[in-house]
Amino acid sequence: MKRMRSTFGEVAFVFVCYLIILIMCVLTLYPFIYLVSASFSSATSVMKNEVFLLPKNFTVRAYEVVFQYKGIWVAYLNTIFYTVAGTLLSLALSVAAAYPMSKKRWALKKPMGLFITFTMWFGGGMIPFYLTMKNLNLLDTRLGILLYPAISAFYVIIFRTHFESLPDALEESAKIEGANDFQILVKIMLPLSKPIIAAISLYYAIDRWNAYFWEMLLLNDDKKVPVQVLLQRIIINSQLGQDIAKALSPGEATIPNTIKYAAIMITTLPIIMIYPFLQKYFVSGALVGSVKE
């Protein structure tokens, strides 16, 4: 197609498109910019609303206070544990669910497909789920946190579609050499699936990192809570931890906002850091994910 002459209307239309996108970007980014700047500003400057774009009276004191707070380290390590162990578990189970379902020769392909997709549309709800966790003795256990969100039907379906797309010939030649299904999966299929494994791991990991509601509900022990739950306690319920109270200077009755902003920053930073690596996988994950809502 040759380039068309641009009429005023065409130019205006494209201009409006650019404008919409720029406005969207400013609205999206500004809260983050403010957050970063405020966390590096002095508490009084933030209190007096002198910070809008850049840090005012630059200081790292807020971060010093947060880092002195032992509770946040414990919570951080817990989150890392739940994220790493949880993602590995989810990945193993999702592959184990998807691979058999991708095989036409498997007698249960259809029934098990239905068995899993049914759960995407129907669920018991919050109360029976809570009672089930209680009956399984998984309240206040790390195991419970690892298990409750272990499989997501959406990612299983992505894996299944992917395995179905791999050529049957690969399997046939391996079978002739005497390999069993498990060996074929681990030695041949998985190495061919690296991009999709990377994508789904990232999605599982982000879900784990951000998970909060069931962690808050199921865990009582302070030693087990992840950082999102701690953040909710400090920021939304304004509960002062012992350590954090000690770290404040005398006369400071409440936690200055700067410290809360610093806490938000260190909770969110890992997401923002792995975010650029995620972008090439956005579309496939999002298309399936959007059916979730």
Partner 1 sequence: MKKKSAFFTEMKNNKYLYLMFLPVFVWYVLFAYVPMGGMVIAFQKFDIVKGILGSKWLGLENFKALFRDPYFFRLLKNTLLINVFGLVFGFPLPIILAIAFNEIRLKRFKKITQTISYLPHFISSVVVMSMVIHFLSPDGGLVNGIRNMFGLESIYFLQIPKYFKTIFISTGIWQGTGFSAILYMAALAGIPKEQYEAATVDGAGKFKQMMYITLPNLAPTIVIMLLINLGSILNVGHERIILLYNPAIYETADVFNSYVYREGIMGFRYSYAQAVTLFQNLVGFFLVFSANKITRKLDGTTLW
Taking the complex as a whole, the smallest distance from the CB of residue 267 to partner 1 amounts, in Å, to: 6
Rounded-to-integer distance, Cα 105 and Cα 33, Å? 55
Helix/strand number for the chain, H first, E second? 16, 0
Please report how close the Cβ of residue 277 comes to partner 1 at its closest, in angstroms.
Answer: 11
Question: Contact 215/226 with Cβ under 8 angstroms?
Answer: yes
Nearer to partner 1, 84 or 287 (CB): 287
Question: Between residues 34 and 81, which has the closer beta carbon with respect to partner 1?
Answer: 34
For residues 202 and 278, the answer to whether their CB atoms sit within 8 Å is: yes
Asked if 275 and 203 count as a contact pair (C-beta separation under 8 A), the reply is no
Give the residue among 73, 75, 110, 115 at the shortest CA–CA distance from 232.
75
CB of 167 to partner 1, least distance (A): 18
58/182 with CB nearer partner 1: 182
Smaller CB separation from partner 1, 102 or 196? 102
Shorter beta-carbon distance to partner 1: residue 26 or 192: 26
In whole angstroms, the minimum distance from the beta carbon of 99 to partner 1 comes to 6
Among 226, 269, 289, which residue's Cα sits nearest to residue 86?
Answer: 226
Rounded Cα distance between 90 and 228, Å, is 20
Amino acid at residue number 27? L
Handedness of CA 216, 90, 200, 88 (dihedral sign): positive
Query: Is 39 or 247 the residue whose CB approaches partner 1 more closely?
Result: 39
Minimum Å gap between C-beta 272 and partner 1 is 8
What is the radius of gyration, based on Cα positions, of the chain?
25
Beta strands in the chain (DSSP E): none
Contact between residue 245 and residue 86 where contact means Cβ atoms under 8 Å apart = no
- Minimum Å distance from CB 196 to partner 1? 17
* Complex with partner 1: residue 82 or 209, whichever CB lies closer: 209
Minimal distance, residue 229 CB to partner 1, in Å? 8
